[in-house]
Amino acid sequence: MACTVGATGAFAGGIDRSGQSIAPIFEDGSYLEFSFGSVNPTVSGVQTGTYNDGTTVVPGLGQTSGNMVESYTSVGAAYKTDISDKFSVALIFDQPFGADVNYSFADSPAPYAYVGSTASIDSNSLTAVLRYKINDRISVLGGVREVTSKGKVALSNGYTMKTTTETDWGYVIGAAYEIPDIALRAALTYNSEITHDFTTTENGVFDSPMETRLPQSVNLDFQTGIAADTLLMASVRWAEWTAFDISPTAYVASAGDALVDYDNDTISYSLGVGRRFNDKLSGSIMVGYEKSSGGYSGNLGPTDGYASLGLGLKYQITEQTAISGGVRYVWIGDAETENPTAPGTTFGEFTGNDATAFGIKISHSF
């Protein structure tokens, strides 16, 4: 059945990108896949210069930010094979977390206060999963996950920070219930928190330790046949983004707060239908949703929730090889950012933003 591949986590909570899926472990026999995705967002806002009650406190009312996020690409790969009738194993590569911020220009003569600020976060992950079938319907799984991450930031006020590249480990555990005759599967997966102990270099001279915790999360994935050649698909992902922060020592000493943190955990939902049209071609449609949390969003990530619509096609090139493609449109949730020099006041309003994404996947069974 087709799936909407690529950029499944685009503009999900925090810096989530891939959604940390372990779906390849459920493929039949031996299986190999490679995927590529591209996301093209537009996120812009207006510097309001007002308190929450509307009182003007910052000169330059109405200054615009321009598009402050860059397009990005992601790659993925997976290999799965059966060890025996009971045991199977999978290796999954993804890029689970990331950010690309660039306040590169303004649309008005007086530039937005953050123009010139840039930030990036990059991560790569390799997950090894072992699955054990207790019987034809119930299975349990577990494994280890390695994540390598790094980041850097340069603010318009002259502050800079760069981290070392760190590799650390976590684990994944879960269980699944299946009824093969109706293509039903419900899989629950827990992804552990992973802690990075970075060394940061601030303003080019000041080195200090910084602990950052990548959030624990829970994924619930469900599918079932609802008619001949028709599949209902749904998923829910919870992630503990309140445990994540970026707090360099010198920045916190100066600003009195974290460079990046989140006030709320997130829950992301998706629901879709897949349909096989013939032996070669199948398609799917998928909607996604994440509730806006309210309150202030960070100036380096001024988004709050989303809604999305995705379409996918899968073409069976041969009996063993298939190519899948998908497109997705994302309505990014409106957000307000907080004035860093006057806590409790609104600095910018970001409304009417969106993103488009596409992905492609080649898979081979053997």
In a domain, 186, yes or no: yes
Question: What CATH number does the domain containing 81 carry?
Answer: 2.40.160.60
Task: Quote the pLDDT of residue 345.
Answer: 80
Q: How far apart are CA 18 and CA 23, in angstroms?
A: 12
Q: Rounded mean pLDDT of 149-165? A: 96
User: Residue 359 in contact with residue 6, Cβ under 8 Å?
Assistant: yes
In a domain, 11, yes or no: no
Q: How far apart are CA 86 and CA 45, in angstroms?
A: 54
Of the two residues 346 and 307, the one the predictor is more confident about is 307
Return the minimum-mean-pLDDT range out of 10-14, 36-40, 175-179, 362-366.
10-14
User: Residue 194 in contact with residue 167, Cβ under 8 Å?
Assistant: no
Task: Quote the pLDDT of residue 58.
Answer: 53
Closest-CA residue to 250 (of 209, 189, 304): 209
Return the minimum-mean-pLDDT range out of 164-168, 233-237, 245-249, 343-347.
343-347
263 residue type, one letter: D
In a domain, 3, yes or no: no
Tens of pLDDT, residue by residue over 312-342, are: 999 999 999 999 999 999 999 999 998 877 7
In a domain, 10, yes or no: no
Report whether pLDDT(2) > 60: no
Give how far Cα 35 sits from Cα of 82, 125, 219, 362, Å: 22, 14, 21, 6
Q: Rounded mean pLDDT of 185-212? A: 97
Q: Concatenate the DSSP letters of all residues of 47-80 into one string.
A: EEEEETTS-B-SS-TTEE----B--EEEEEEEEE
In a domain, 29, yes or no: yes
Of the two residues 239 and 255, the one the predictor is more confident about is 239
What is the extent of the structural domain holding 237? 23-365
**Which residues have CB under 8 Å from 365's CB, separation 6+?**
27, 28, 29, 30, 31, 320, 321
In a domain, 327, yes or no: yes
Report whether pLDDT(232) > 90: yes
Task: Quote the pLDDT of residue 338.
Answer: 86
In a domain, 197, yes or no: yes
User: Residue 340 in contact with residue 346, Cβ under 8 Å?
Assistant: no
In a domain, 5, yes or no: no
Buried b / exposed e over 4-23, threshold 16 CB at 10 Å, is: bbbbbbbbbbbbbbbbbbbb
Q: Structurally, how many domains does the chain consist of?
A: 1
Q: Rounded mean pLDDT of 73-93? A: 98
Q: Concatenate the DSSP letters of all residues of 94-117 into one string.
A: E--B-EEEE----SSSS--TTTT-
User: How many Cβ atoms from other residues are within 10 Å of residue 93's Cβ?
Assistant: 16
Q: How far apart are CA 298 and CA 358, in angstroms?
A: 27
User: Residue 47 in contact with residue 58, Cβ under 8 Å?
Assistant: yes
Q: What does the mean pLDDT of the chain come to?
A: 92
Report whether pLDDT(107) > 60: no
Task: Quote the pLDDT of residue 315.
Answer: 98
Q: How far apart are CA 297 and CA 304, in angstroms?
A: 7
pLDDT band at 11 (very low <50, low <70, confident <90, very high): low
Task: Quote the pLDDT of residue 51.
Answer: 47
